[in-house]
Chain A
Amino acid sequence: DAKTTQPNSMESNEEEPVHLPCNHSTISGTDYIHWYRQLPSQGPEYVIHGLTSNVNNRMASLAIAEDRKSSTLILHRATLRDAAVYYCIPMGAGAQKLVFGQGTRLTINP
């Protein structure tokens, strides 16, 4: 499993953009990069995933570096509901499990 490095915590203000970085320098060429988040007192929930090119969905955008050794999850306008622990998870072909690291605890200030 590829090792990931994320900041332990980040803080931002409501309605401002948030950029959550993740380093995954040992990622293999076929690993997808997944992001999940865990809101307080809930199970994790899927946010987004991608392989090489940048991806957008209704929740967030995922920017993947050209060398794929890092990626950034972008929340365009953070709300209080976005306060959560965000996990970056590389996943290889045939993987049967999600390997969670420590994640980044995001605090949103009103």
Chain B
Amino acid sequence: DAGVTQSPTHLIKTRGQHVTLRCSPISGHKSVSWYQQVLGQGPQFIFQYYEKEERGRGNFPDRFSARQFPNYSSELNVNALLLGDSALYLCASSSSSLRYRGFYNEQFFGPGTRLTVL
């Protein structure tokens, strides 16, 4: 079975440009989350979407936005790129919200998109 897929794998942009990153969750998973991982640090939560609705947002500026499509795939958009946006962007899917009826739903991560802003 295919795991979480992300595209592109690598991307180079210049300051001020915008970028769109894509994620396809595991088949049957309805929840997608986005994380940013700066070199040498743990991933930081950006967004969670469940059933096409935003369910959580991390401490990121409004330049970051996301959406989820009817097939549960997702896009992360970043406008007006800054040098500090250079990072590995990770997408994770789970079958339901993270804690559904008290049961934990394991999150499955994709390999990430490496974004470099010059």
Interface bracket on A: 20 to 34
- Contact across chains for B56 and A91 when beta carbons are under 8 A apart: no
Complex-state Cα separation, A87 to B110, whole angstroms:
17
- Contact across chains for A100 and B43 when beta carbons are under 8 A apart: yes
Question: A100 to nearest B CB, angstroms?
Answer: 3
- Contact across chains for A99 and B45 when beta carbons are under 8 A apart: yes
Interface string of B32-45 (1 = CB under 8 A from A): 01010000011111
Q: Considering only CB atoms and an 8 Å cut-off, how many residues of chain B contact the other chain?
A: 26
Report which of B43, B58, B99, B108 forms a contact with A93, defined as CB distance below 8 A: B99
> In the complex, which residue of chain A has the Cβ closest to the Cβ of B43?
A100
Most-contacted residue by chain B among A34, A44, A46, A96 (CB, 10 A): A96
Known: A95-B99, A99-B45. A43 touches B56 (CB 8 A): no
- Contact across chains for B104 and A97 when beta carbons are under 8 A apart: no
Question: A56 to nearest B CB, angstroms?
Answer: 16
- Contact across chains for B109 and A45 when beta carbons are under 8 A apart: yes
Interface string of B50-65 (1 = CB under 8 A from A): 0000011010000000
Report which of B48, B107, B111 forms a contact with A42, defined as CB distance below 8 A: B111
B70 beta carbon closer than 8 Å to chain A = no
B92 beta carbon closer than 8 Å to chain A = yes
Question: A34 to nearest B CB, angstroms?
Answer: 7
- Contact across chains for B102 and A91 when beta carbons are under 8 A apart: no
Interface string of B87-118 (1 = CB under 8 A from A): 00010100001110010101111111000000
Complex-state Cα separation, A100 to B46, whole angstroms:
12
> In the complex, which residue of chain B has the Cβ closest to the Cβ of A51?
B104
The 9 closest A-B pairs by CB, nearest first: A43-B109, A100-B42, A96-B56, A97-B45, A46-B106, A100-B43, A96-B48, A43-B90, A44-B109
Ordered by A's residue number, 12 sampled pairs between the chains whose C-beta atoms are within 8 Å are A43-B4, A46-B107, A46-B108, A49-B104, A95-B98, A95-B99, A96-B33, A97-B45, A97-B56, A98-B43, A98-B45, A102-B42
> Which residues of A does B touch, CB under 8 Å?
32, 34, 41-46, 49, 85, 87, 91, 93-103
